[in-house]
Structure 1
């Protein structure tokens, strides 16, 4: 039956290494040379190890050294112990450098369409040993999750002005109009927002705290009207499906543009609208160094020059996209909420 070391916290790993080396060499002089120490040091440390164990590990007869029964049983266990210790050091080093670990990453619904797939794909390729735990949460849920340490980083609409949180701009752009392909204005190269004065809108429910809804309401107010809501929906994909069905029109950030997902036309607006932007947010006191790699990859993956972003925004002029570094234009919606 193998001799298992139980009280590993009381064992000096240096002595374990000396023992394993001497057991493999069966010669204290060669073991000392291999460990780059003098022979008396090896002999002394192994003697102390034997005293701790209460058993002899070696039998020394003249120039011959051989393992005792206890030594033979101890050798594989000590090898495993050293392997575990070495692995623990490798894990700690990898975690310290951000190439191993875990990130709990939350994001708003509209980021899923075009922004996240290239970002997540690139991150997994670069950091295969970092586990990404992904979930869709609203802006308020993300802020709460960050405060409660249930998530490490969020991708949410700005501004993010909360004590204890830091943020980085990710991507921002003016809104575009989404219309069913059969809509009379769907073939226009651009449309003034005022043209939708009497149009039915598909929007998020008024009772939820939606940054995108606030930006839409503020944009329409700046254009001189309040949108007439024909239907409400909780998720961006449902909103676009209802637009596809001809229930109404809506305004969206350009990164939701995905050819073939819905039979919807996306048209630029002539009217200047508030910029809808997404920011990364994380705790100021976060010790998760893996976050640095995620944010760094995001800056290159989602720049206006990247193939992924250019393809997603094929119907929108790239000059409308505002990338890092970026300052959001602060406007006020009719109810006084910042948008």
Structure 2
């Protein structure tokens, strides 16, 4: 059976008018041409659709079945076409997004809300991963786009800075240094430290240890946490102090105090990352929203 959507629309017009001359006028075709289109449709279906006499045109039983089915067929065809166009434009489908906890505590909700507002049919699967895991997952095509921290670009992955904020010192709430408005890094020389494991983000780890060395000491790391909640809990328990991006101050966990560091303090970058060879419009929409929320105003695509 080879039936065209155009033939179904012609059929529905004739069925609505039950008069070939009036239907031809509505369709702006000649009556003979219209009759030929209906005969072609009937041959394709192997059934007569209209009983035509000199006095009236009526639907046959087969015609009444097609009258019931044709609108649904046309609706589904139109919906399929819309979905295909949306997918091609990045307005629908699935976008797999990774994010570090830093971004989830700060800029990520604004980005996701912006994308959702513009493309409500685009489904986003968001999960939390450290920077190193995201860079690997992007290269392996297990993520479409990621929000990472202090990462270096690779041959496979583009990294673009969104926002930067300075390091803060994180102290147990009852720590003597918590009474100060600012803390000198040198005052931390004898303190035990709680940090991220280096494999989870080598660049960020090196920023912290390099900052400590610039102030005359290497941090004595007594505990590590694979997520910020664990690290802040260890600080609250008095296990040690930590250096963290100021984004995490938004979490305001009990038992810890965030204090600015005096002097020159390194900044930590939040970045958006995607595959160099990725041509997905949905990724472009996400990156554009990230730039807008960060206020970077960057027009390139890397």
Structure 2 length-normalised TM: 0.89
Matching residue of 1:229: 221
Matching residue of 1:54: 46
- Partners of 1:48 and 1:264 lie apart in 2 by 79
**Conserved? CA contact 1:153–1:280, under 8 Å:** yes
- Partners of 1:148 and 1:35 lie apart in 2 by 54
**2:26 aligns to what SS in structure 1?**
helix
**Structure 1 26/160 Cα, relative in aligned 2: closer, same or farther at 3 Å?**
farther
1:89-147 superposed Cα distances (whole Å, 9 cap, x missing partner): 22223333333332110011322222323333343334322111011122232122222
**2:178 aligns to what SS in structure 1?**
coil
Query: Of 30, 44, 47, which residue of structure 1 is paired with 2:36?
Result: 44
- Partners of 2:199 and 2:94 lie apart in 1 by 34
Matching residue of 1:310: none
Of 140-149 and 128-137, the range deviating more from structure 2: 140-149
**1:118 aligns to what SS in structure 2?**
helix
Aligned positions of 1:310-325 closer than 5 A: none
Matching residue of 2:21: 29
Matching residue of 2:87: 95
- Partners of 1:42 and 1:225 lie apart in 2 by 90
Instruction: Please tell me whether residue 243 in structure 1 is matched to residue 235 in structure 2.
Output: yes
Matching residue of 1:135: 127
1:88 Cα offset (Å): 1.2
1:257-316 superposed Cα distances (whole Å, 9 cap, x missing partner): 12543332211112424332121111233232123332333334345xxxxxxxxxxxxx
- Partners of 1:22 and 1:241 lie apart in 2 by 74
- Partners of 1:36 and 1:219 lie apart in 2 by 79
Query: Of 267, 284, 294, which residue of structure 2 is paired with 1:292?
Result: 284
**Conserved? CA contact 2:167–2:267, under 8 Å:** yes
**Conserved? CA contact 2:158–2:274, under 8 Å:** yes
**Structure 1 297/140 Cα, relative in aligned 2: closer, same or farther at 3 Å?**
same
Aligned positions of 1:1-339 closer than 5 A: 10-206=2-198, 208-258=200-250, 260-303=252-295
Instruction: List alignment gaps of at least 5 residues for structure 2.
Output: none
- Partners of 1:237 and 1:324 lie apart in 2 by 32
- Partners of 1:17 and 1:164 lie apart in 2 by 49
1:164-188 superposed Cα distances (whole Å, 9 cap, x missing partner): 3333322122211111221111132
**Conserved? CA contact 2:232–2:253, under 8 Å:** no
**2:85 aligns to what SS in structure 1?**
helix
- Partners of 1:214 and 1:175 lie apart in 2 by 13
1:63 Cα offset (Å): 4.8
Structure 1 length-normalised TM: 0.80
Of 253-262 and 202-211, the range deviating more from structure 2: 202-211
- Partners of 1:294 and 1:159 lie apart in 2 by 19
RMSD: 2.2
**Conserved? CA contact 1:240–1:262, under 8 Å:** no
**1:230 aligns to what SS in structure 2?**
strand
1:237 Cα offset (Å): 1.1
Instruction: List alignment gaps of at least 5 residues for structure 1.
Output: 1-6, 304-322, 326-339
**1:149 aligns to what SS in structure 2?**
coil
Instruction: Report the structure, 1 or 2, having the larger helix content.
Output: 2
- Partners of 2:27 and 2:291 lie apart in 1 by 47
Of 138-147 and 207-216, the range deviating more from structure 2: 207-216
Of 115-124 and 231-240, the range deviating more from structure 2: 115-124
